[in-house]
Amino acid sequence: MLASKLFAAKLRAGTALAVVLCCVATTSLATPHIQHWQSASGAKVLFVENHDIPMLDVAVSVAAGSSFDTAEKSGVAGMTQHLLDLGTAQSSEDDISRGMADIGAQLGGSFDQDRASVSLRTLSSERDQALRLMAGVLQQPVFPEAILAREKARVVAALKEAETQPASIADKAFQQAVFGAHPYALPVSGEVASVEKITVQDLQDFYRTHYSASRAVVAIMGDVTQAQAEAIAQQLTAALPVSAAPPALPAVAMQIAASEQRIPHPASQSHILIGAPGMSRTDPDYFPLYVGNYILGGGGFVSRLMNEVREKRGLAYSVYSYFMPLKQPGALQIGLQTKKEQADEALKLVRYTLAEFIAKGPTEKELLGAKQNIIGGFPLRIDSNRKILDYLSVIGFYDLPLTYLDDFTGKIERVTVAQIHEAFARHIHPAQMATVIVGAPEVKETSGVKNK
Amino acid sequence: MRIYRFFVALLVAGTLQVAQAEVFEHTLSNGLKVIVKEDHRAPVVVQQIWYKAGSMDEITGKTGIAHVLEHLMFKGTKQVPAGEFSRRIAAAGGRENAFTSYDYTAYFQQLHKSKLPLAMRLESDRMHGLNLTDAEFSKEIKVVMEERRMRTDDDPHSLLQEKMMSVIFQEHPYQHPVIGWMSDLETLTAADAKAWYRQWYAPNNATLVIAGDVDASVVFKLAQRYYGNIPRQVLPIRRNFTEPAQLGIKHLAVKAPAELPQLVMSYHAPVLSKPAQDWQPYALEIMVGVLDGSESARLNKHLVREQQIASAVGVGYDSASRGPGLVTLEATPSTGKTIGEVEAALRQEIASLVKDGVSAEELQRVKAQVRAGEVYKLDSVFYQAMQIGQMESIGLGHKTLPLMLEKLQAVTAEQVQQVALTFLQDDNLTVAVLDPQPLDSNKKKITEGNRHARQ
């Protein structure tokens, strides 16, 4: 948003992605009491009742992310989600946005490879009107022809813009190098050519196939009673389409060939991404990998990558690593930006740091530091309605145990150096990773793939 | 020891009874103002220290030093070696960072409430004990240069904004970027950073904001213990910069590798100086809400949805800052539309605002959004502390916050029309255009347009 741009504050570390959370050995922390049931519609519901603030947060997530696209129709999933609130059987796009604004309610949403979601924040006193509009958005979208044409043009313009910017060029090439023919490789908003071909019929078909109540998770947090929450969940999902489950996704190929793409760009910095398929949300190694990644490149200013690349040598402002845990294994991604002339030096250093970590594992001291941070910082993960709502959606969507938050610090505490060492060795093979360098130094060999 | 206690009344519609947010303040004898916002929803606390020294306090040739010093504040003191600050906060389960703006520099930690004394010990230590070495400086200045490349030099929209600010402001230091010109970064030294630190980092130039699950009286005792012995300092005299009347429209174009052009129009506008008497800044805030407060607000509804002249629009204005204000409109033309057509459409919206004003319905909608926003704000302890720190640092004081809400609710349609007429005038306007260049053939053009960023 413009106002924030003009504000021009400079954060010392800008990579939200790299910030992994944290905490200490506090004994018994109150975790929110999660109520859970299946709505008559078939939707799964997770609810936390809290009346501290007179407001309500609701999110409905559906297994309808970009991994359900095909290469030919890449972008249909994203466009379906995007058009949900741009016209329903009862309301025009303007009725919806004005109706929300009139009561100060905020309708939002999110979209990734796995999930499409619609979320609402409203004063609890105004919830009837807000929920009525939201119910229409979820259950009676009409995907108007003229609005689809307009939004296609906007998405295509944004995609073309992205194709000129080094960070997005790198990200797209990286996903393709890591996931190959798997749908996780598809750009979440599609390609220019495929978006241009999207029809209203495509959106209706996609909606009918994927937006069924049995694939929906309703998260409710805030100032309503359980009886009210039950009615809300039903109101938002009872009229979703009924459909058979779509075919399961193919499995992610965990072994990839080493590759290195050097893509020219006039930017002053090289944007470097290194990675490989990593872990799923339900991987048995989830906690060892999570804690290990804190040590490698997730732990803000105290990670190995940050220490080697930035603190010791001043080679980059931002350097990080993270696992993107999805239904199937998402990527382990390591990233940094550095002045072109020193890109090869930085790349070498990052690869060395990663290889060292995988070969030898963390030290006991590093593990202790990681546990102190992750366990000690646990209260910060659940200190707002917004954060709790997000946990409810994730727990529901990925079928995590309802005791996930209660168990969290114990699972971290039990991770050992050996487990991290073994888990990384099992999942990440430094000789089989994809590297993308956008704005690569020109003296090196030209674009292409080379085996290492 | 005097403790002022008062309530921030939430201007929530009707009889909504939100737990009244309690704010306490106390000034230590060395001049450090301590403000506590109690919020007992979760066992966490945030500490923020705000120094009234931002990039607008820099002098010619030394731009960026405020932000460079912010980085160096993590590089060790006589008590705490380089890197240890972050390590100790991390080991306490904390998250931390810092930020620099035109108006101030601030540092923060978020932790379990039991760790507040540790955070205070570390933060107070670096208020007066920083150990700045040439070795740390020479590494960190490289990091800042990389930050500049990433945020500005290689980002067409930031580049446009940086160049635009230097055209908008002729005298006021807002003409210089917070991160500093590259040529200045190349010549700054550890001695410059030391001088900056000595000048501005003093208890009587700072505000300490603590928010969360704490007891104010305990916090005041802790503040006295950790910060109370840091000596007060004589502060430099601040020059009171003004910006002369513009006297005519200004234009600029910036070429950069991109696909889409962009139009930005900025008008000089007043900011709050006497919050109880002022009315124009409040009317401008409401005007911005009418133009861009939601997807159904005028600009998105007319330009993006109906006329389809623009693929994206935005409006910005901040009524609270140390320096002069701006109302900024920006738009990206739809494919096939020109910058000229987009500018004409924006001007048409301004003309209609000036001629016909705003409807009662629009006014009510924006006010409803403001009221709801005040409730939503309660979900973020960090943001509440931010607002307090900002208001203190720009000199208005946090007690202005409830007053602002009251005044926003009192804005009339006539006042909105009046400020549009008064300030959205060509003589007050700078128009900037991003002129997109192809990736292949433009290396030369970029270098020419970006001399300050030569490495």
Mind listing the pLDDT tens digit of every residue in chain A (452 residues)?
Answer: 233 333 333 334 333 333 333 333 444 568 999 999 999 999 999 999 999 999 999 999 999 999 999 999 999 999 999 999 999 999 999 999 999 999 999 999 999 999 999 999 999 999 999 999 999 999 999 999 999 999 999 999 999 999 999 999 999 999 999 999 999 999 999 999 999 999 999 999 999 999 999 999 999 999 999 999 999 999 999 999 998 888 889 999 999 999 999 999 999 999 999 999 999 999 999 999 999 999 999 988 899 999 999 999 999 999 999 999 999 999 999 999 999 999 999 999 999 999 999 999 999 999 999 999 999 999 999 999 999 999 999 999 999 999 999 999 999 999 999 999 999 999 999 999 999 999 988 754 444 443 33
Question: Rounded distance, CA A10 to CA B340, Å?
Answer: 33
List alpha helices for A92-210, DSSP H. Answer: 93-102, 127-139, 145-162, 166-179, 192-196, 200-210
Query: Is pLDDT of B445 > 60?
Result: no
Which residues, other chains included, contact B101 with Cβ-Cβ below 8 Å and sequence gap of 6+? A7, A8, A9, A10, B54, B55, B178
Query: Is pLDDT of B97 > 80?
Result: yes
Neighbours of B30 (CB within 10 A): 17
Residues B144-191 have pLDDT tens digits of 999 999 999 999 999 999 999 999 999 999 999 999 999 999 999 999
Q: For residues A242 and B14, which has the higher predicted lDDT (pLDDT)?
A: A242
Among chain B residues, CA nearest to A341: B455
Report the DSSP beta bridge partners of residue A55: A123
A149 touching chain B per CB within 8 A: no
Question: Rounded distance, CA B277 to CA B259, Å?
Answer: 46
Q: Look up the CATH number of domain B250-437.
A: 3.30.830.10
Neighbours of B244 (CB within 10 A): 9
Bin A238: left if φ > 0, else alpha if -120 < ψ < 50, else beta: alpha
Question: Rounded distance, CA A404 to CA A29, Å?
Answer: 13
Instruction: Find the mean pLDDT for residues B444-452.
Output: 37
State how far the alpha carbon of B264 is from the alpha carbons of B312, B323, B330, B435, in Å: 12, 20, 4, 12
A75 within 8 A of A190, measured Cβ to Cβ: yes
Residues B103-123 have pLDDT tens digits of 999 999 999 999 999 999 999
The angle that helices B280-292 and B339-356 make with each other, rounded to 10 degrees, is: 130
Active site residue B295: no
Determine the pLDDT at residue A441.
Answer: 85
Q: Which of B70, B123, B285, B330 is catalytic?
A: B70
* A2–B330 C-beta distance less than 8 A: yes
* A314–B101 C-beta distance less than 8 A: no
State how far the alpha carbon of B444 is from the alpha carbons of B94, B257, B437, in Å: 46, 11, 11
- Tell me which residues of chain B, numbers 313 to 352, contact chain A at a CB-CB cutoff of 8 Å: 314-318, 326, 328, 330, 332, 334-335
A440 touching chain B per CB within 8 A: no
Which residues, other chains included, contact B391 with Cβ-Cβ below 8 Å and sequence gap of 6+? B320, B397, B398, B400, B401
* A383–B112 C-beta distance less than 8 A: no
Helix (H, G, I), strand (E, B) or coil at B379: helix
Chain A residues touching residue B68 (CB < 8 angstroms): none
Question: Rounded distance, CA B307 to CA B322, Å?
Answer: 38
Determine the pLDDT at residue A244.
Answer: 87
φ, ψ of residue B430 to 5 degrees: the values are -120, 130
Query: Is pLDDT of B20 > 50?
Result: no
Q: What's the whole-model pTM score?
A: 0.92
Determine the pLDDT at residue B239.
Answer: 85
Nearest to A383 among B44, B144, B364 (CB): B44
Angle, CA of B343, B298 and B338, to the nearest 5°: 25
- Tell me which residues of chain B, numbers 75 to 94, contact chain A at a CB-CB cutoff of 8 Å: 83, 86-87, 90-94
* B381–A310 C-beta distance less than 8 A: no
Determine the pLDDT at residue A245.
Answer: 84
Annotated domain spans of chain B: 23-227, 250-437
State how far the alpha carbon of B44 is from the alpha carbons of A383, B118, B223, in Å: 7, 14, 17
Residues B50-82 have pLDDT tens digits of 999 999 999 999 999 999 999 999 999 999 999
Query: Is pLDDT of B449 > 80?
Result: no
Best to test chain A binding among B44, B152, B301, B379 (most A CBs inside 10 Å): B379
Query: Is pLDDT of B362 > 90?
Result: yes
CATH 3.30.830.10 in chain A, residue ranges: 2-237, 259-377+401-441
Fold adopted by A259-377+401-441: Cytochrome Bc1 Complex; Chain A, domain 1 (3.30.830)
Q: Distance from A51 to chain B by nearest Cα, in Å?
A: 10
B158 within 8 A of B152, measured Cβ to Cβ: yes
Determine the pLDDT at residue B21.
Answer: 61
* A384–B42 C-beta distance less than 8 A: yes
* B260–A161 C-beta distance less than 8 A: yes
DSSP structure string for A292-304: HHIIIIIBGGGSH
Neighbours of B347 (CB within 10 A): 15
- Structure tokens that stand for A305 in this block: 């990558």
Query: Is pLDDT of B323 > 70?
Result: yes
Among chain A residues, CA nearest to B260: A161
Q: Look up the CATH number of domain B23-227.
A: 3.30.830.10
Assess: ipTM above 0.85: yes
Query: Is pLDDT of B304 > 60?
Result: yes
**Same CATH topology for B23-227 and B250-437?**
yes
Question: Rounded distance, CA A263 to CA A435, Å?
Answer: 11
CATH 3.40.430.10 is right for the domain spanning A2-237: no
pLDDT mean across residues, chain B: 92
Residue B453: pLDDT band (50, 70, 90) is very low
- Please give the interface size between A and B, counted as residue pairs whose CB atoms are below 8 Å apart: 276
Residues B220-247 have pLDDT tens digits of 999 999 999 999 999 999 988 889 999 9
Question: Rounded distance, CA A154 to CA B313, Å?
Answer: 12
Among chain A residues, CA nearest to B266: A6
* A14–B101 C-beta distance less than 8 A: no
